[in-house]
């Protein structure tokens, strides 16, 4: 990280955040560690440029260079996801979803989406979010016994509700999503299919999760989770939706695009096309499977019994803990995660019965199966004895060995070298 000869407390906080990231095992499923080149792109002069509009059709002069950057980013997004069309301007995943819903629906139209309590996202219908305020939201959930989405139930709900839009995608669901089945249901009830692949975009790009692109009208995503790019949003769609979608992004819900972020997205998309990224995506899911297995063997209940992707929900209620207590016990040993509702949770959202763990970030810093098993062992130790201070000291030592053995700084450099070869 570049340092400045300044005592500005902002730079002190930035430096300390770098140190915190190096010293903690990051298991927040929506986070990752970007490459040196992605970080560099974010710090370029492109941040100075206004470029309202689209390449070749801007409302400002001097856009010839940023046009090239956006064209490259669009071409890479189409190629990586095998999509007919793309929009790379959304500032975030939520803004990508705002634009998609604006393009596909009229206000007050009916949406059928995964319940927020069962792993859906705020922008899929939370009453205080634009989606819940401007559309009529209906929800499907996971089955109580299997804790999985049952496509027969989704179909029954869709036949009853007759939504104009069927939405697939989640923030806390650990199983494959059957996009083909979602598409068949959408067709049957005359709905459009939107998929929000925010969490799994990198797994789709790396070929370890089925792709929604052949089946969905519009696919939204974030670029900063498993895709390992800068914080931002991205949309791919069928050509027929592009005009409406472009107009929904600008002028619909944004002004000038963040051209520095688009450059960083272009860099990340190129990285995601590499053979190294395919290995990374495979390692993320292998590590998640190893984490879930080891935690299960140590007596922790994994929601739905395991994981097909990068994340899992761990039900800590059987240990006499709630999710907030588990999050804080792990935080005390430098393992970062978040409390999370589990399906049919009896606890309120600020307590919860679960924690959500993801392996995208620890895999980026190089942890493999042996290290994941070691990490899982100490996580189980702490959750079984959350107030044991001697244990905490020992576990902090193990975490230090793992973090110092796999520095993020070195991983960023190694990734650049692999890409150059």
| First-residue to last-residue Cα distance in the chain | 23
SS3 at position 143: coil
Rounded Cα distance, 211 and 203, in Å: 9
Is 378 a binding residue for ligand PLP by CB under 6 A? The answer is no
Nearby residues of 159 by Cβ (< 8 Å), 6 or more positions away:
188, 189
Tell me if residue 344 is catalytic.
no
The count of residues interacting with ligand PLP (CB under 6 A) is 15
Residue 381 sits in the site that holds ligand PLP (CB under 6 A): no
| Residue 309 near ligand PLP by CB under 6 A | no
Rounded least distance, CB 275 to ligand PLP, Å:
27
What's the CA gap between 337 and 321, in Å, rounded? 15
Candidate residues 32, 115, 131, 222; the one interacting with ligand PLP per rule CB under 6 A? 222
What count of other Cβ atoms lies within 10 Å of the Cβ of residue 390? 8
User: Which CB, 199 or 365, lies closer to ligand PLP?
Assistant: 199
| 231 catalytically annotated | yes
* 354 binds ligand PLP, rule: CB under 6 A: no
Q: Which residue number, 222 or 352, has a Cβ lying nearer to ligand PLP?
A: 222
The one catalytic residue in 31, 44, 50, 336 is 50
**Residue 50 bears catalytic tag:** yes
Helices 9-23, 389-405: crossing angle, 10 deg rounding: 100
Is 52 among the residues known to form the active site?
yes
The conformation of residue 199, written as its DSSP 8-state character, comes to T
Dihedral sign for Cα 78, 80, 82, 87, please.
negative
Would you count residue 123 as binding ligand PLP (CB under 6 A)?
yes
Choose the catalytic residue: 37, 147, 196, 371. Answer: 196
Q: Does 379 bind ligand PLP (CB under 6 A)?
A: no
Considering only 28, 30, 86, 415, the residue that binds ligand PLP (CB under 6 A) is 30
Stretch that binds ligand PLP, among 60-68, 192-200, 210-218, 265-273 (CB under 6 A): 192-200
Choose among 246, 239, 200, 244: nearest CA to 87. Answer: 246
Token look-up 């969490």 returns 199
**b vs e for 34-47, b when ≥16 Cβ sit within 10 Å of the residue's Cβ?**
bbbbbbebbeeebe
Residue-wise burial string across 330-356, b where 16 or more C-beta atoms lie within 10 A, e elsewhere: beebbbbbbbbbbbebebeeeebbbbb
Q: Is 93 in the site for ligand PLP (CB under 6 A)?
A: yes
Give the C-alpha separation, 39 to 253, whole Å: 26
Query: Which H or E run contains 112?
Result: strand 110-114
Q: Which residue from 49, 118, 175, 199 is in contact with ligand PLP, where contact means CB under 6 A?
A: 199
Q: Does position 34 bind ligand PLP by CB under 6 A?
A: no
Compare residues 198 and 237 and give the one whose CB is closer to ligand PLP.
198
154 to 173: interface string for ligand PLP, x by CB under 6 A: ---------------xxx--
**Residue showing the smallest CB distance to ligand PLP in the complex:** 93
Active-site choice (157, 228, 231, 270): 231
Among 58, 50, 90, 61, which residue's Cα sits nearest to residue 74?
A: 90
364 lies in the binding site for ligand PLP (CB under 6 A):
no
**47 noted as active-site residue:** no
Q: Which is nearer to ligand PLP, 170 or 319 (CB)?
A: 170
Stretch that binds ligand PLP, among 69-77, 141-149, 194-202, 289-297 (CB under 6 A): 194-202
- Is 196 annotated as catalytic? yes
- Applying CB under 6 A, which of residues 34, 94, 294, 359 lies at the interface with ligand PLP? 94
- The pair phi, psi for residue 235, each rounded to 5°, is -130, 135
Q: Which stretch of DSSP H or E encloses residue 178?
A: none
How far is Cα of residue 392 from the mean position of the Cα atoms in its chain? Answer: 30
Please state, in angstroms and rounded to a whole number, the distance separating the CA atoms of residues 72 and 228: 18
Q: Does 121 bind ligand PLP (CB under 6 A)?
A: yes
Closer residue to ligand PLP, CB minimum distance, 121 or 175? 121
Residues of the shown chain interacting with ligand PLP in the complex, contacts defined by CB under 6 A: 30, 92-94, 97, 121, 123, 169-171, 196, 198-199, 222, 233
**Which residues participate in catalysis according to the annotation?**
50, 52, 196, 222, 225, 231
């Amino acid at each position: 990280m570049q340092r400045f000869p300044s005592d500005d407390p902002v730079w002190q906080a930035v430096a300390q955040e770098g140190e915190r990231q190096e010293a903690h095992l990051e298991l927040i499923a929506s986070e990752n560690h970007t490459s040196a080149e992605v970080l560099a792109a974010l710090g370029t002069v492109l941040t100075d440029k206004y470029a309202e509009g689209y390449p070749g059709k801007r409302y400002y002069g001097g856009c010839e260079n940023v046009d090239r950057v956006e064209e490259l980013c669009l071409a890479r997004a189409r190629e990586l996801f095998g999509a007919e069309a793309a929009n790379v301007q959304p500032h975030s995943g939520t803004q990508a979803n705002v634009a998609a819903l604006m393009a596909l629906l009229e206000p007050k139209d009916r949406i059928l989406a995964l319940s927020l309590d069962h792993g859906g996202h705020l922008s899929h219908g939370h009453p205080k979010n634009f989606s819940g305020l401007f559309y009529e939201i209906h929800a499907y959930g996971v089955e109580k016994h299997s804790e999985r989405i049952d496509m027969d139930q989704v179909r029954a709900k869709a036949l009853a509700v007759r939504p104009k839009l069927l939405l697939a995608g989640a923030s806390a669901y650990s199983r494959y999503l059957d996009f083909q089945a979602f598409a068949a249901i959408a067709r049957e009830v005359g709905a459009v299919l939107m998929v929000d692949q925010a969490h799994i975009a990198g797994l789709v790009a790396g070929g370890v999760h089925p792709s929604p692109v052949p089946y969905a009208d519009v696919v939204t995503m974030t670029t900063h989770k498993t895709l390992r790019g800068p914080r931002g949003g991205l949309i791919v769609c069928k050509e027929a939706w592009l005009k409406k979608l472009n107009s929904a992004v600008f002028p619909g819900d944004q002004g000038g695009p963040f051209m520095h972020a688009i450059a960083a997205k272009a860099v990340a998309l190129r990285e995601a096309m590499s053979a190294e990224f395919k290995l990374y995506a495979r390692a993320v899911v292998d590590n998640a499977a190893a984490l879930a297995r080891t935690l299960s063997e140590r007596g922790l209940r994994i929601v739905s019994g395991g994981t097909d992707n990068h994340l899992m929900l761990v039900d800590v209620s059987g240990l006499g803990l709630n999710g907030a207590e588990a999050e804080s016990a792990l935080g005390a040993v430098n393992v970062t995660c978040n409390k999370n509702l589990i399906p049919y949770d009896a606890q309120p959202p600020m307590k919860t019965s679960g924690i959500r763990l993801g392996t995208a970030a620890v895999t980026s810093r190089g942890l493999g199966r042996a290290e994941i098993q070691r990490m899982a062992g100490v996580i189980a130790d702490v959750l079984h004895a959350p107030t044991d201070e001697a244990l905490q000291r020992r576990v902090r030592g193990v975490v230090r060995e793992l973090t110092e053995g796999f520095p993020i700084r070195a991983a960023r450099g190694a990734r650049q070298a692999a890409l150059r070869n």
